[in-house]
Amino acid sequence: MRQAFSLTRREFGRIDIVIANAGFSLRGEFQRLSLDDYRRQFETNVFGVLRTISLGLDDLTRSKGIVVIMGSVAGYISASKTSPYAMSKFALRALAESLRVELAPAGVATVLISPGFVESEFRRVDNRGVFHPDRPEPLPAWLVLSGEKAARRMVRAILRRRREVVITWHGKIAVFLKRHAPWLFALAGRWLVMPGRRTKDPAS
C-alpha cells in the first residue's frame, strides 16, 4: 500500500482522491462461525479501509481532496447469515459519518458509496478467500448492474462530492423501505429462516 501511494505521487505529483475499497463477504449462521471468522472479516473490510485512508490523508489535506469509502447496502440492512459482512459495512457507514464532520474543516470531502448488486467477481469468492471462476452467478441477470454503468455513477457521485449514494435501483428501494417500513424486513427475515427454507451453508 505504501509503495502504491509513493508510485502515485511520483507519477502524478499529487493525490486528489483516495478510494478505500477493500472487502469480501463472509457468510454463515452465527453458531457455525468462529470469532476468528469475524476478526478476518474486519481485518479486511474495516482495517483495510482504515489503512488506506490513513496513508492518504496527508495528501488529501494538501489537495483538499476526496476520501471515498466503499460501503454496501448491507451497511443499512443486516440479513440472515450475513452478520460478519453487515457488521463490517455498518462500521464503515459510522466511519464515513464521523470523517465527514472531522475532515470538512480541512476542505476534505467524504463520500460513502453503497453499490448493491453489481457485476463483479465478488460472489465467486468463498468464506476462505478462494476464488471460484466457474461458479455461476447466483443472482438473476436483471438484478445485476453492469460494472461500466456502476463505475460511471460512482465517478459522478465522487466528482460532485456527494455525501452518500446508493448506486443500484434495488439498493435504493431496499434502503428506503428499511428506513420507512422496517417491519417488512422483519417479516421477510422470519420467512427466510422458517423450517424447510434453510439454505446450504456458503462456507461449505
Nearest to 79 by CA among 64, 71, 90, 68: 90
What are the DSSP calls for 14-25, one per residue? S--EEEE-----
Residue 42's pLDDT is 96
The pairing of beta strand 109-114 with beta strand 66-70: parallel
Render the burial of 47-73: b for 16+ CB within 10 Å, e for the rest.
ebbeebbebbbebbeeeebbbbbbbbb
pLDDT of 29 strictly over 60: yes
Evaluate if residue 16 carries a pLDDT over 50: yes
Average pLDDT along the chain: 88
Q: Does domain 2-192 have CATH number 3.30.70.120?
A: no
pLDDT at 203 (0 to 100) = 41
More confident residue, 131 or 11: 11
Beta-bridge partners for 15? none
Residues with catalytic roles: 85
- Identify the pLDDT of residue 198: 45
Residue 119 has pLDDT above 90, yes or no: no
CA distance linking residue 93 with residue 98, whole number of Å? 9
* pLDDT, position 199: 45
Out of 28-42, 133-147, 187-201, the most confident range is 28-42
Q: For helices 47-63 and 2-12, what crossing angle results, to 10°?
A: 20
pLDDT by residue (tens digit) across 45-78? 999 999 999 999 999 999 999 999 999 999 998 8
Domain-wise residue ranges, the chain: 2-192
Q: Write the single-letter amino acid at 179.
A: R
pLDDT of residue 187: 72
